[in-house]
């Protein structure tokens, strides 16, 4: 069953690019004692992800921080090099671009989708969530092929109590 409000984030390693190359970061480090906005998507450089999903969070980042978010995380089943390059191309300076290359996190929260028939392999469903000190307080999951519940606007509305 996919992650839902009230669930705790499982302990898994994700990866992000550093000056020394890819480095692992544990979910406990990312989510402990913080209010985090997370969004995940099927793949870096894919059409909806590049034209709407990530750009929406880039545009709304100031407002999300103003509403009490400590960090914004973008997670995709890609490697750290791809996530870093995509973040640079999208001017996502205020968003941590995290790689889940083996889909360990995605599988642990039951958000994986098999897109092998489309040549993409195992990927993530499109979703966004607010995590308070390691516990999901809100989550929006889009149906396959849709982009609405996981938008920056939906997450912002949830932060405002709507």
- Which sequence positions are flagged as catalytic? 49
DSSP-derived secondary structure for 14-29? EEEEETTEEEEEEHHH
Beta bridge partners of 123: 113
Rounded alpha-carbon distances, angstroms, from residue 34 to 40, 123, 131, 132: 18, 27, 8, 6
Residues 35 and 32: their CA atoms lie apart, in Å, by 8
């Amino acid at each position: 069953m996919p992650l839902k409000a009230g669930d705790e984030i499982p302990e898994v390693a994700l990866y992000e690019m550093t000056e020394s190359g890819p480095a692992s970061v544990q979910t406990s480090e990312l989510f402990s004692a913080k209010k985090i906005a997370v969004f995940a998507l099927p793949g870096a450089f894919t059409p909806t992800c590049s034209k709407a999903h990530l750009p929406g969070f880039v545009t709304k980042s100031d407002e999300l921080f103003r509403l009490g978010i400590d960090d914004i995380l973008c997670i995709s089943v890609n490697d750290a090099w791809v996530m870093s390059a995509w973040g640079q191309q999208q001017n996502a300076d205020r968003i941590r671009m995290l790689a889940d290359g083996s889909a360990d996190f995605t599988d642990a929260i039951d958000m994986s989708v098999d897109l092998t028939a489309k040549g993409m392999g195992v990927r993530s469903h499109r979703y966004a969530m607010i995590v308070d000190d390691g516990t999901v307080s809100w989550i929006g999951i889009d149906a396959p092929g849709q982009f609405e519940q996981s938008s920056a606007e939906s997450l912002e509305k949830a932060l405002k109590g709507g």
